[in-house]
Chain A
Amino acid sequence: MTATIERGSATAPVTSPAKASPPSTPKKTGGFLGSSNGKKVVMAVTGAIMVGFLALHMLGNLKIFLGNDSFNEYAHALRTLGEPLVPYRTVLTVLEAILLISVVLHMWAAISLARRAGRARPVKYVAKKSQAQGYTTHIMRWGGVTIALYLVWHLLDLTFGVVNPKGFDSSPADRMIAGFQPERWWVTLIYVIALVMVGLHLRHGLWSGFQTLGWAKDRRRTLKLAAGAVSAVIVLGFLAPPIAIMIGFGK
């Protein structure tokens, strides 16, 4: 004897998934560097390289307080680093190349992530209120642009001497002292604004890098405090020489 069991709609066979809308994964992700997480890792690593550079650059700048000769010797030592094993300026050129690559990659990742973010929200909110108390996070992109523009000025001023009163054929200390004289107060002003932007950028960027690399678990509060402290030290360390020179140091 056979019984026919009629299936109700609740127990009806599930329609094959082929008929249902297929999971939409047509877009290729483009590997690690194509992924949003991969780009964030690029930001974190290149950012760390640049922070390392900033810290050394700041310490180097402070040598001006030990006298012009000390500062010039330091500048010379950077160029003769590794001699006589390697020719003049080899190590410095390699470091400069690493920094240039870092800046370019950092900007590439930032632009690409910003564009992805733009595509992810085609229709903007009529009203939008930020809920996280972190204004620094909202100025990362334009802050970065500001820093990039400043970097151009800074290189023209103190590295190539194009916009410096002493020009290229002068000692680094002379360029620095001449660059921040009181009558060039606006240079110091540019410098101060740029450094505040650098500080705010680092304030978020420093701990953010740890988060991106997955090292911020259970210690975000500490990392954020440390990021604030390191940013403050870097900003103050950089601001000390130009402000001291403007108010009369080194005459």
Chain B
Amino acid sequence: MNLTLKAWRQSGPKDSGRMVTYQAKDVSPDMSFLEMLDVVNEQLILAGDDPIAFDHDCREGICGMCGMVINGVAHGEQRATTTCQLHMRHFEDGATVTIEPWRAAPFPVVKDLVVDRSAFDRIIQAGGFVSVPAGSAPDAHSLPVRKEDADDAFDAATCIGCGACVAACPNGSASLFTAAKITHLSLLPQGQPERIARAKSMVDQMDAEGFGGCTNTGECTAVCPKGIPLDTIARMNSDYLKANAK
């Protein structure tokens, strides 16, 4: 299959950037989106051009490195799928595909489709941890956890921190990411001692990074490759209110 790509090219953080059109020829429907870009890049290199820079690592949907806005949707229109797991068979032959980086002030473009997501790291540093005595792993049954809580905590913990929620949010809010991190710790016994302080410091850090506020549009959860539910944001809000009531 053949595709017309309109990809964002930006040589560096200072460059203003522009959309550039490329032809992707002889694309196999079995290729992943990233493999398709690899092929295009090989052609670009052979032609003496600069390849399109994009983030990627595991290519099996669990690391959270890849991510681009494809045809106006973070990670493409295939639901609950990372860009690396998106296959070309979901595109029509001859289609035009626009590819843009995550757009948010706290995610400055490094090059082309690569954005700097250190803001997420700083949100985690602000409180996304539990202080427990290190040592050998405790027995699995030494701390009882309700099945429902364990399920919800695990659902939240599947967040891979890719940033699609920020990219899709009309407000550029990092609420779903922050809420997922807050939820998976606050539902478990190990997370209780720091629970309230955690919500406050992580939300405050999210604001300090320049992310927008949540208006409950649900765009984030719709594009989340892990389907993190909006319930996590309700939990975050609840913990944040408790933190401020103190």
Closest to B242 in A: A214
The chain B residue with its CB closest to the CB of A110 is B215
A29 touches B207 (CB 8 A): yes
Q: A27-B208, A117-B170, A214-B237 are in contact. Are A134 and B125 (CB under 8 A)?
A: no
Say yes or no: is B51 at the interface (Cβ < 8 Å to chain A). no
Q: Is the CB of B170 within 8 A of A131?
A: no
Give the nearest-CB partner of B172 in chain A: A120
Once the chains bind, are B72 and A137 in contact (CB under 8 Å)?
A: no
Complex: A123 Cα to B10 Cα, angstroms: 13
Interface readout for B187-201 with A: 1 if CB under 8 Å, 0 if not?
000000000000000
How long is the Cα–Cα vector from A193 to B221 in the complex, in angstroms?
32
Q: Determine if A85 is an interface residue (Cβ-Cβ < 8 Å).
A: no
In chain A between 178 and 225, which residues have their CB closer than 8 angstroms to a CB of chain B? 204, 207-208, 210-218, 220
How many whole Å from A134's CB to the nearest CB in chain B? 6
| A-B pair number, CB within 8 angstroms | 155
Interface residue tally on B, bucketed by range: 35 or more
- State which of B208, B214, B231 has its C-beta within 8 Å of the C-beta of A220: B231
Which residues in B have their C-beta under 8 angstroms from that of A167? Answer: none
Q: Which residues of A contact B239 (CB under 8 A)?
A: 214
Tell me the nearest residue of chain A to B239, going by C-beta: A214
A121 within 8 A of B: yes
A116-B125 Cα distance, complex, nearest whole Å? 23
For A26, A36, A140, which residue has the most chain B Cβ atoms within 10 angstroms? A36
Q: Please classify how large the interface on chain A is, using the bins under 10, 10 to 19, 20 to 34, 35 or more.
A: 35 or more
Check B218–A134 contact: CB distance below 8 A.
Answer: yes
Chain A residue nearest to B171 (CB atoms) is: A117
Identify the closest chain A residue to B206 (Cβ): A36
Which residues in A have their C-beta under 8 angstroms from that of B211? 36, 120
Asked whether any CB of chain A lies closer than 8 Å to the CB of B90, the reply is no
| Contacts A116-B212, A120-B105, A127-B98 given; does A36 touch B173 at CB 8 Å | yes
B positions within 8 Å CB-CB of A: 6, 8, 17, 19, 69, 71-73, 77, 98, 100, 103-106, 122, 125-126, 168, 170-173, 203-219, 221-223, 230-231, 233-241, 244
Please give the residue numbers on chain A whose beta carbons come within 8 Å of chain B beta carbons, in ascending order.
Answer: 23-27, 29, 32, 34-41, 113, 116-117, 119-132, 134, 137-138, 140, 204, 207-208, 210-218, 220
Q: What are 11 A-B contacts defined by CB distance under 8 Å?
A: A25-B122, A36-B173, A37-B241, A125-B69, A129-B71, A131-B73, A134-B218, A138-B170, A212-B216, A214-B234, A217-B231
